Chain A
């Protein structure tokens, strides 16, 4: 097998250009997600995205969109039917960039406030969704309708 160091300079430059182009395409794809706007008259819940760094996403009717939280990291989401929430997260050290796009599905209840949490593990990353519940010891509670993302 030929390693990158054995390739001629022109080929190495080509590979580097391809890598940069790929990264640009990837970043471009993230930015091109349309921003979600809650339809007028739609029952709503709220999602806090503080604990899920990256670009927050919402999938409604199999269409992935970008959430745009307010200054308190709260975003309106539709209630009453299944949605999927997640984040597009990137981490890197200047040499390698790690990207993950975890999502989880659930059915938000009108008036309820939820929080999404990104967990970065050694081999994967996952997003958890819980209900905000000030009366419990942790301030959190289960969301019973959790299921696999359908997006």
Chain B
């Protein structure tokens, strides 16, 4: 077998290992690698931001939910704020019923959580606060 064939086989094997059997990573689903899943977000409805994660069959529900929360924290910091609330639906947002934890949907065995993010100017009861490490922590009450 020629050296070229060895190289082709090697590259194919490595690519196969990288692309198969792996849960969706934390990356933008709208990039070329996003065909394997990832986060996405879009402005609206209203002042909310719709944030979701598209997992594959290897992504756990808990893992996908955490990635949505991580994206919410990133968007909050990008808006120059530190506090946010997440809602299951816009009606819940209007009613002031934020989520304490994300428990998203599963479609065809793949987790596809979607939440509605509201970035806050200041801490509020039942909101998440983003720390210096970028990690969001839930606070039921405001101290």
Residues of A within 8 A of B (CB): 48, 50-51, 91, 93, 96, 98, 115, 117, 119-122, 128, 130, 132-133, 136-142
Contacts and interface: CB of A to CB of B under 8 A. Distances in A.
Interface string B77-94: 000000000000111011
Contact of A96 (B42, B93, B108, B114): B108
B107 to A, nearest CB: 7
13 contacts: A51-B50, A98-B108, A120-B105, A122-B105, A128-B90, A130-B90, A130-B94, A133-B46, A138-B48, A138-B90, A140-B93, A140-B94, A142-B94
A115 B45 contact: yes
Given A91-B107, A93-B108, A122-B107, A50 B118 contact: no
Interface in B38-61: 42, 44-48, 50
Nearest to A97: B108
Contacts, number: 67
Contacts of A128: 89-91
Contacts of B45: 48, 50-51, 115, 117, 130, 139-140
B89 A115 contact: no
Quick one: which of B46, B106, B114 has the most chain A CB within 10 A? Answer: B46
A115 B90 CA distance: 10
B99 interface: no
Contact of A51 (B44, B93, B112): B44
Nearest to B118: A138
Contacts of A141: 94
B89 A117 contact: yes
Sorted nearest first, the 6 A-B pairs with minimum C-beta distance are A139-B46, A139-B47, A140-B46, A122-B105, A51-B45, A138-B93
A93 B54 CA distance: 11
Contacts of A117: 45, 89-90
A69 B42 CA distance: 18
A130 B47 CA distance: 13
Contacts of B89: 117, 119, 128
